[in-house]
Amino acid sequence: MNKNFTILVSLIFTFIISEVAQAQSWEVYNTKLQLQSRLIYDEVDLLSETVRIGKKGDELFLLSNDLRPAVSLVGTEIYQYLEPWILVKGPNGIGAFHEYGQQVLPLEYERIQTYFNMLLASKGNEYWLFQRGKNKTTYLGELDEAKVTNTGLIILRKGNDYSLPLSSNPDKTFELLADNDGEFVLAKEASGFGLINREGDYVLDPIIERLQHTHGNFYYGYNQDQYLLIEGNDIKSNIRYNSFHKITFENDVMLEYIHGKLRRVMEDDGILLDDVGITAVNKIGKDSYNVHFRDDRIGLLGKKGWLVQPMLGADEIKFGKEGLFPAKSNGVFGFVDSAGTWVLSPQFTETTLFSEKIAAYRITQNWGLINASGELLTDPLWEEIKSFQNGLAIAKLNGKYFLLNPFGATVNTEGFDNIYRTSDGYFLVEDSGKFGLLDSEGKEVIPTEFEELRRERKDFIIVRKNGLTGVINESGEVILPVAYEKVLVDWTNDQIFTKNKFIPTVVQTLGEPSKNNKKGA
C-alpha cells in the first residue's frame, strides 16, 4: 500500500474519531421504554410539542418530526421561544425564525418584541417591523421609543410626537399614546383625550379634558364640569356614569362627594356603595375596602356588597376565608363573622386566614394553631406556619421544616431544611443539599439522597445522583438507570430522550492487506 496514502487515511480516521468522540449520544425511547432511535447531538431542547432543537458544535438546527436536522438556525444559542417565534442569538446579535423554519430577521438586532404575527426589532435607536402576513420587514426609522401594545398596535415616539404606523393614518401625530391592560390606547391631541381601538380608530373622540385608565376597559374622566366613568367599546365607547359632583380617584380608590361630603364608593362603571356618614375608605386588597363611619363603625366592602356589616369595636377588618375575617381592635387581632360579631375576641398580635377551619396565631414572635371554636391546638412554638391544604401544614422550628396534622402534631419526627408542596399534593423535601419525596400523607416515598428530583407524574420520577440522571418509580425501583447526563420527557409525543457520552466502537486491523484481497473489496 502507498505509504503517503496510509498516512492520509490515518490522519482522516484520527480526525473523524476525535470529532465524533466529542459529540453526545441521545437515545430516544417511547414511554414503554422501547428504543426508537439514536441521535448524535450535543444538546436537544424540547421547546414545545412540535418544536425541537438540536445543537451540534456551534450549529443549531430545527429538527423534523423524525428528529433529523431540518433547518439551520444560524446562531449559537436559543435566546427565547415566544410561540410561534424562535429568537436565536449569534455573535452579532439576535434574530428570529418562525417555528415552521422560515428565517424572518437576521441575527443582528439588540432587542425583539413579538406579537402573534409581528416582530418589532431594534438596534440602538433604529427600529424595524416584520409582518408575517405581508412577509416583509419595514424600516421605521430612528426613534426615541417604539413598543407593541397588548392589542397589537405599534406606538412610536420621536421627541414629543407619537404615531401609529399600522393605523389608517400612519403620519398623524399625537401628544400622547399610552398603553394599559385594557383593549384601548389612551390618546391625547390638542382637542383633548380619547380612546383608540386595536384597528387604530377612535372609539371615543379626543374631546375629554382629563382621562385616565382605571381597570380593564374602564376609564375615569372629567369634561365640561362633569365627572365621567367610561367603558371602552370596539365601535363606540359608553359613558356609564356622569355626575356634576366631585369624584376623586386616588390610591386605586374612587369616591364621590356630594355637597363636599363623602357619600359614595364608586366602582369602574357606577356606584358600589351609597351611604351617609362615611368618613374614609381604605383599599385593603383586590376589590375589598374598609369603610369608616362618623359613629366609629367600620365595615368590609366587596364588589357585591358588604363582606362584613359595619360594626363597632374594630379599627381594621381584613379579607377573610371560611366566613371568618381577621379584625383588629386596640392593637390586637381576633375574628369576626359577616354580621360583624366577634367570634374570637381580640387577643393576638397577628393571625393568618382560616384554612380547613384552622388558622395560625402569634402572640409574641412564634406561631401556634387555633380552630374556629377558639381552641388553641398548639402553643406558640413555631417560627412559621403555612396554611393547611389537604389536611397538612408546613411549619418551621429551629431552622427545620415539619408537616403538621390538624391536631398540631408533627407528622415527620426529623425536620428538613425545606419542604415544598407539589401541584399534585406530594412534598419535595430537601436536607443538606439532597432531595427526597413524601406522599400526600407525609410518608417517605423517595429518601433524601438525590441532587435533583422531579416528579413528572405518578411512578415516573427523574432523579440526579453523583452527577448522573435516571428515572425511578415511587417504590424506588429503577425505570431508567441513573447513568445519563440528562433525561427529557415529551409526554405529548410519547418520547423519552436520554443523553450520554458517545464512545465510538473502533475496529483496527493490523498488518498489510492480504494479497488474496481483490481490488475494491
Q: What would the pLDDT profile of 203-248 be if each residue is shown by its tens digit? A: 999 999 999 999 999 999 999 999 999 999 999 999 999 999 999 9
Is 159 domain-assigned? Answer: yes
Is 235 domain-assigned? Answer: yes
Place of cell 362627594: 257
Among the listed residues 364, 332, 331, the one whose alpha carbon sits nearest the alpha carbon of residue 346: 332
Those residues with Cβ within 8 angstroms of residue 315's Cβ, 6 or more apart along the chain or in another chain: 298, 328, 329, 330
Q: How far apart are CA 492 and CA 223, in angstroms?
A: 56
Q: How far is CA 361 from the centre of its chain?
A: 31
Beta sheet of 226-231, edge-to-edge order: 210-213, 218-223, 226-231, 238-243
Is 367 domain-assigned? Answer: no
Domain count, the chain: 1
Q: What is the predicted pLDDT for the residue at 517?
A: 37
Q: How far apart are CA 354 and CA 234, in angstroms?
A: 43
Q: How far apart are CA 92 and CA 95, in angstroms?
A: 9
Is 215 domain-assigned? Answer: yes
Is 370 domain-assigned? Answer: no
Q: Compute the chain's Rg from CA coordinates.
A: 33
Among the listed residues 358, 354, 334, 348, the one whose alpha carbon sits nearest the alpha carbon of residue 409: 358
How does DSSP assign 36-93, residue by residue? EEEEE-SEEEE-SSS-EEEEETTEEEEE-TTS-EEEE--SSEEEEEETTEEEEEETTE
Q: Which domain holds residue 155?
A: 143-243
Is 150 domain-assigned? Answer: yes
Mapping DSSP to helix (H, G, I), strand (E, B) and coil, where does residue 378 land? coil
Mapping DSSP to helix (H, G, I), strand (E, B) and coil, where does residue 13 land? helix
C-alpha cell at position 440: 400526600
Among the listed residues 230, 231, 281, 234, the one whose alpha carbon sits nearest the alpha carbon of residue 256: 281
Is 163 domain-assigned? Answer: yes
**Phi and psi at residue 18, in whole multiples of 5°?**
-65, -45
Q: How far apart are CA 224 and CA 315, in angstroms?
A: 40
Say what the pTM is: 0.85
Q: How far apart are CA 380 and CA 365, in angstroms?
A: 8
pLDDT mean values, one per 10 residues, the chain (521 residues): 41 38 80 94 95 95 96 96 97 97 97 97 98 96 97 97 96 97 97 97 98 97 98 96 97 96 96 97 95 98 97 97 97 98 96 97 95 93 96 97 96 95 94 96 96 93 96 94 96 95 50 40 23
Among the listed residues 317, 345, 347, the one whose alpha carbon sits nearest the alpha carbon of residue 332: 347
Is 361 domain-assigned? Answer: no
Burial profile 111-120: b = 16 or more Cβ within 10 angstroms, e = fewer: ebbbbeebbb
Residues 92-97: contacts with CB under 8 Å, at least 24 apart: 93/123, 96/121, 96/130, 97/62, 97/71, 97/73
What's the angle, vertex CA 290, arms to CA 287 and CA 295, rounded to 5? 150
Q: How many CB atoms lie within 10 A of CB 253?
A: 14
- The predicted-structure confidence for 165-183, as pLDDT tens digits, reads as follows 999 999 999 999 999 999 9
Asked whether the beta carbons of 358 and 369 are under 8 A apart, the reply is yes
Q: What is the predicted pLDDT for the residue at 508?
A: 45
> For residue 12, which amino acid is it?
I
Q: How far apart are CA 407 and CA 388, in angstroms?
A: 11
- Return the H-helix or E-strand segment holding 241: strand 238-243
Q: How far apart are CA 49 and CA 327, in angstroms?
A: 49
Asked whether the beta carbons of 217 and 249 are under 8 A apart, the reply is no
Q: How far apart are CA 160 and CA 100, in angstroms?
A: 40
